[in-house]
Amino acid sequence: MTDAPRFADIAEPKPTKAGLVQSYAAIGAALDSGQRATALAEWDRLRRQYDTWSALVHLRFAQDTTDPTARADRDYADALSPEAADLEIALKRRLLADPDRTGIAAAVGSHALALWATDVTTFDPAIKPDLEEESQLSARYTELLASAKLQIAGQTVNLAGLGPYAEHPDRSIRHEAERVRWGFFAANAQALDDLYDQLVKLRHRMALKLGLESYTTLAYRRLRRVDYGPEDVVRYRDQVACHVVPLVGRLLQARRAENGWDRLHFWDEALIDPAGNPKPAGDHDVLVAAAQAMFDGMDPRLAAFYRLMSQGGFMDLKNRPGKAGGGFCTSFPTAGVPFIFANFNGTHHDIGVFTHEMGHAFQNWESRELPGVDYLWPTMEAAEINSMGLEFLSYPGIGQLVGQASADRFRRMHLIGALAFLPYGVCVDHFQHEVFANPEASPADRHAMWSRLEKLYMPWTDYGDLDYLTKGGRWQAKPHIYGSPFYYIDYTLAQCCAMQFWVKSRQDYSAAMEAYVGLCARGGSASFQDLVRSAGLVSPFTDGALRDVVREAEAVLGV
């Protein structure tokens, strides 16, 4: 590549329904006349163009949820998306039905065929209006959370801006941060319950229209889980309960004792290091520069890629009013370079952006030459290995971002955080399985479900005077439950694999890094468990997959 790509140059024409119909008709005509290679190439080009446009529209809305033009464009994209899906699914059905299955597989790869065979069961024109409504409801949740204007310590902040207070070394400030946070959720309880109730019933209805018994089945297929099912996930959650829950309980007990507290309250859980969680070595500009030095020390491919991203403007990391919460990586398949989005708040979470979202971005970049748009991203649980794996592989150089004096404390905090995340993550997953097994449950029933599961996976939780949490409201702060149902287990499955990279990197760093880069380059060309095994890792569904990483963590943490 001679000219370095710039984000500002990325643009694709706004597609229309009529234009898409025409393009798909031309692809169909090419297939009719036996020009399969031309048809497939043209389809791939069309999908890359459409995906790039859609990613830009959604990114611009996230960058400013109060901009009426961005909102109108997103609404337009949400309305067009089911029409595009309709055309795409029809073409996948046609190709899957082709008598020359071997020839099709040779052209697009057999894994793409397995993905399409799943995709075609998730769509029918009858659910088009439902899909549009689903996008709109989930956009309303994003807007509601982005609208939060919270008062703390004489400042007005949004939910991301509460972060530094929520892990402040001063216990009363942490308590106040949680009181303010959950006060916002309590004030919006009715809207949050209504939105979710509508989403659950809508999703269940879609599943029935597609001839499936429940939304759970549909969700697994939408997530393109071709090599495991809910029963495997149940076994994995049990492994977390068996191996990780007792360890996290011991770590929290140790923290209580170390701080001299009689009880460990919910607002104490975010203060992992008694001396105060290590903070980034500086603000946005300092971190952007320091990250280059860190990646330079890790791997030349990673270093060159980060330089390209930061110089090309492919990052938006500062928190500001009206910006959607959270962090993500999105991609523009016509350009090849992805984009990372975050909300820096001066805590160690900022460091997570460079390691987590950069892992996603690096994978997408390494996979850019793979044939076919289906392989540019793996399924999400595999994609999270790329991101979480890089968090662990950044350990040796993390002093660049956090200051050399705090590097050990940062690594310890990150490892404890990774372990403590697992029980919460599987709880979010278990909750959603129960919600969709009982779609007629009332909002109050759902709060009771959450409370019951929370006691199973996080028996230590003590909400004190935070009534909204005591009554089972914690799940409403988790955007994935509203916008990306059943996605959450993916983080926990990936964490199990990422921690295996950590164990390997302690034995032989360059071998672990090589296996990691190899996995990134395979992108989405295989199913989750095949990708895991290809990197020399043990599938999380194998008995004992967690036992070994937990043993290593116990030894390192000395508990």
Point out which residues bind Zn ion (CB under 5 A): 384, 387
387 vs 525, which CB is nearer to Zn ion?
387
Q: Pick between residue 86 and residue 384 the one whose CB is nearest to Zn ion.
A: 384
Distance of closest approach, residue 387 Cβ to Zn ion, in angstroms: 4
DSSP secondary structure of 371-421: SSGGGSS--HHHHHHHHHHHHHHTGGGTHHHH-GGGHHHHHHHHHHHHHHH
End-to-end CA distance of the chain: 51
- Smallest distance from Zn ion to CB 329, Å: 7
The number of residues in the chain equals: 559
Q: Which is nearer to Zn ion, 51 or 384 (CB)?
A: 384
In angstroms, give the least distance from the CB of 359 to Zn ion: 8
Smallest distance from Zn ion to CB 50, Å: 23
CB of 356 to Zn ion, least distance (A): 6
| Residue partners of 216: CB distance under 8 A and separation at least 6 | 230, 433, 436, 437, 486
In the complex, least distance from residue 187 CB atom to Zn ion, rounded to whole angstroms? 30
Of 323, 419, 374, 349, residue with least CA distance to 117 = 374
Query: What is d(CA 361, CA 341) in angstroms, rounded to the nearest whole number?
Result: 11
| 317: enclosing H helix or E strand | strand 315-318
| CB of 374 or CB of 490, closer to Zn ion | 490
**Closest CB to Zn ion among residues 180, 489:** 489
Give the Cα-Cα-Cα angle 101, 106, 112 (nearest 5 degrees). 80
- Ordered alpha helix ranges (H), 278-357: 284-298, 300-312, 349-352
CB atoms within 10 A of CB 170: 11
Token duo for residue 10: 């990325």
C-alpha 281/C-alpha 404 separation (Å) is 9
State how far the Cα of 438 lies from the Cα of 453, in Å rounded to an integer. 15
Structural element, H or E, at residue 322: none
CB of 503 to Zn ion, least distance (A): 21
Closest to Zn ion by CB, 387 or 527: 387
At 264, give phi and psi (nearest 5°). Answer: -105, 110
Minimum Å gap between C-beta 56 and Zn ion is: 20
Placement of tokens 């643009």 in the chain:
11
Q: Which two tokens stand for residue 504?
A: 């390997």
Q: Which is nearer to Zn ion, 355 or 387 (CB)?
A: 387
In angstroms, give the least distance from the CB of 340 to Zn ion.
10
Read off φ and ψ for residue 405, nearest 5 degrees: -65, -25
- Residue 98: beta bridge partners? none
Q: Which residue is nearest to Zn ion (CB)?
A: 387
Is the separation of the CB atoms in 160 and 345 below 8 Å?
yes
Beta carbon nearer to Zn ion, 387 or 492: 387
Residue type at 76 in one-letter notation: Y
Q: Which is nearer to Zn ion, 10 or 385 (CB)?
A: 385
| CB closer to Zn ion, 158 vs 387 | 387
Residue closer to Zn ion, measured from CB, 23 or 387: 387
**Separation CA 197–CA 276 (nearest Å):** 39
Quote the least distance from Cβ 380 to Zn ion, whole Å.
8
Closer Cβ to Zn ion, 148 or 517, answer by number: 517
Spatial distance between the Cα atoms of 374 and 307, rounded to a whole number of angstroms: 27
To Zn ion, the closest distance from the beta carbon of 144 in angstroms equals 23
Minimum CB separation of residue 360 from Zn ion in Å reads 6
Output the smallest distance, CB 384 to Zn ion, in A: 5
Tell me if 446 sits within 8 A of 435, measured CB to CB. yes
Distances from the Cα of 415 to the Cα of 273, 343, 427, 548, angstroms: 12, 22, 20, 15
Q: Which is nearer to Zn ion, 135 or 364 (CB)?
A: 364
Rounded to the nearest 10°, the torsion over CA 18, 24, 29, 34 is 170
Angle of the 189-209 helix axis to the 128-146 helix axis, nearest 10? 160
Q: Nearer to Zn ion by C-beta: 381 or 384?
A: 384
Contact call for residues 487 and 380 (beta carbons, < 8 A): yes
CB of 491 to Zn ion, least distance (A): 7
Place of tokens 């082709």: 98
Q: What amino acid occupies position 65?
A: T
